[in-house]
A and B are shown apart, each in its own frame.
Chain A
C-alpha cells in the first residue's frame, strides 16, 4: 500500500546573509491510519518539517508525496486546494476566528470547499462538535470556552472536510494535564476509529508513548536514537 505521506530528501533553508538550515535531507514514509509523534528539542526543526509535510511551506530541496502524488509541481492554488481537501491543521494556539461562533468556525472549511450543501455542512459541524463533547457550545464565541474546549473545536474544524491527514503542532502544549489527556485521546481515536493519519509535533512524553511511531529531529536531521 502506498504511504499516505512521504518525504524524499526534504530540505528547507531560510535564505539570507547567513542562511539558516531548518530541515535537511529528511526521508520518511507515513502509512494510512498511523499515529506519528515528531519529537526533538526546541528549535530542532520539528515544526518546520510539519509545515513542509503539510504543504504550508515549500521545500528548498527534495519533495513531498501526498497520497501517491508528487506535490513539488503544484502551484499556489493547487497547494491551497490540496490543503483544503486532504489536510487538517491543529496548532498550539487554537487560532479560531474570534468574531465567528464555534459552529461557524467549524463550518469555514466546508463553506470554502462548497462540496456540501449549507444544511449538510451545518449537520456535519454539529455532529463533529457533539462527537467532541461540545454539542451545546456551537453558538458561543471562542473566548467563552476553556483552552481544552477551544482545542477540541480546532480539531473539529481540521476534520470538517474529512481529510485523510491531520497535522498537529504542539496540540497540547498550552493545555493543563487533564485537557491535554483529553485532546491526546481524541487524536488517538481519530487514527483508530476513523482511520485518519495523525502527525503531531510534541514535547509531551506521554504523547510519544501512545504514538505508533516516534520520529526524533535534531538540528533539522532525523535522529533515530533521540529520546526526550
Chain B
C-alpha cells in the first residue's frame, strides 16, 4: 500500500464521525438515485412494453423508401433529355422473392419473423357488411412474433392451423355481428373469389379499434381471396431485445431493399419525450449527489485545517506537493467509493421494497406491482455521478493542502 494511501485511510478512520456523515450523505444520494431511477426507468419500460408488444418490433413493407430509378436514368445517367410522364411498370404488389428474404432475416440472431399478407376485405354476416383488414398468417410463425395468442379469449391459433377456412376476429367485431364461435362469415375482396370462413377464435386486446377492424386467416387462404398467389406484403419481426430493432432495420433495408420500419422509428416522438423525461429525472437525482459532495468537501477541508502541522512535517520530511494532493484526493475517492457501495446496497434494498408495493389502479381488477428496472447501467451511472462529485469535492481541499508552506507553519509554532 503506498504511503500516501495509508495516510489517507488513517485520516478517515481516525475521524469517525465526519467520515460517517460524509459516507451517509453519499450513500443516501446513491440510494435515492437508484430508487428514483429504477422507478422511472421501470415505468418507462412498462410503458414501452405495452407500446411495443402490441405491435411488431419491426415491419418490413413491400415499398421502397425512395422511388426506384427509371431504367432510362440507369442506362444514360448523364443524359440531357428528360422523359416526362413515365409511369413505373405495373406489377403485382408484394415482396419479391419473399421466401429467400425471410430466410435471410431469420438467419439473423435474436429475432423471430413471420410473413403476412394483409389486405382489405368485406365481411358479410346476416345482412350486415363490414370492411376489415384481413391478415394472412402462418400460425406457427405468428406465435413467435405476436402476443395475439395470449389475447385469445376463445379458440386458438392452433385451431386456425387445423382449419383452412378458419377465421379469427376481435371481440368488438364479434359483438357487432352477433357472431360467436363456429359462426360462418362471407368474405369478399375486390379482386379474388368470395369465400365462407368459419370463426375459430376470438381475441380481445383492449384496444377497441383493433378489436373491431383486425381479422386473421391462413396465409394461403388470404392469398387466394385477394388473388395474389404466393405473395406476402410484409414481414413482421419480434426481437429478444427490442432496442436492437433500429440497427437491424437498417441492416435489413440495406440488404433486401424494402422499407424496414422499427417501432423506435414509428414512435420517435414518444421516445424523445421519454428521453427528456429521463434527462430531467437524472438531473434532479444527481443534484442529491452534488449536495452530498458538499459533505465530503466539508470533511476534507476540516481534515486539511486540523492536519496542517502533519502536512508541514510531511513536506519538511521530503513529501512532494503532489504527494500531499494525492493523499486528499485519495480521501475523496475513498469516501466516494465506500459511500457508493453502501448506497448501492441501500438502493437495492429500497428497490426490493418498492417492487413489493401493490397498487390497484382505478377501474382495474388486477393488483399490479410497481414496475422496477434492475438494469446495471443505472448502477454505473450512479457510481459515476457519485465518484465525480466526490473527486470534484476533494480537489479544492487537496490543492489547499498541497500549497501549505511548511516554513509558515513552523514559524507559527516556534
Chain A residues within 8 Å of B, Cβ to Cβ:
47-48, 51, 54, 56-57, 76-77, 80-85, 87, 89, 91-93, 95, 97-100, 108-109, 111-113, 157, 161, 169-170
Quick one: closest A residue to B414, CB to CB? A47
Residues of B contacting A97 in the complex (Cβ-Cβ under 8 angstroms): 7, 10, 310, 313
Which residues 276-320 in B have Cβ within 8 Å of A in the complex? 309-310, 312-320
The answer to whether B410 touches A112 (Cβ under 8 A) is no
Contacting residues, chain A, for B143 (C-beta < 8 A)? none
13 A-B pairs, CB-CB below 8 angstroms?
A51-B407, A54-B316, A56-B316, A80-B315, A81-B320, A83-B318, A87-B318, A91-B413, A93-B413, A95-B312, A97-B313, A98-B310, A108-B314
Q: Are B321 and A92 in contact (CB under 8 A)?
A: no
Check A108–B317 contact: CB distance below 8 A: yes
Chain B facing A: main interface SS: helix
**Judging by beta carbons under 8 Å apart, are B313 and A95 in contact?**
yes
A157 and B310 CA atoms in complex are apart in Å by: 14
Does any Cβ of A come within 8 Å of B149's Cβ?
no
Q: Select one of B3, B11, B318, B410 contacting A85, CB under 8 A.
A: B318
Assess A56 versus B318: contact at CB under 8 Å? Given A95-B309, A112-B323, A169-B414.
no
Whether A89 pairs with B414 at a CB distance below 8 angstroms is: no
Chain A residues with Cβ under 8 A from B309's Cβ? 95
Chain B 195-219 interface mask (CB, 8 Å, partner A; 1/0): 0000000000000000000000000
Q: How far is the CA of A115 from the CA of B2 in the complex (A)?
A: 13
Contact A47 B318 (CB under 8 A): no
B46 → chain A, closest Cβ, in Å? 52
Number of interface residues of B (CB under 8 A): 28
With both beta carbons as reference points, the residue of chain B lying nearest to A89 in the complex is identified as B316
A157 contact set on B, CB distance < 8 A: 317
A100 touches B406 (CB 8 A): no
Given A57-B407, A85-B318, check contact A100 B414 (CB 8 Å). no
Contact A112 B14 (CB under 8 A): no
| Chain B residues numbered 319-373 whose CB sits less than 8 Å from any CB in chain A | 319-323
- Give CA–CA (A184, B229) in the complex, Å: 112
The residues of A that contact B6 with a CB separation of less than 8 Å are: 111
Say whether B50 faces chain A, with CB atoms less than 8 Å apart.
no
Collect the chain A residues with CB atoms within 8 Å of residue B413's CB: 91-93
B312 partner residues in chain A, CB cutoff 8 A: 95
Q: Measured between alpha carbons, how far is A91 from B322 in the docked complex, in Å?
A: 24
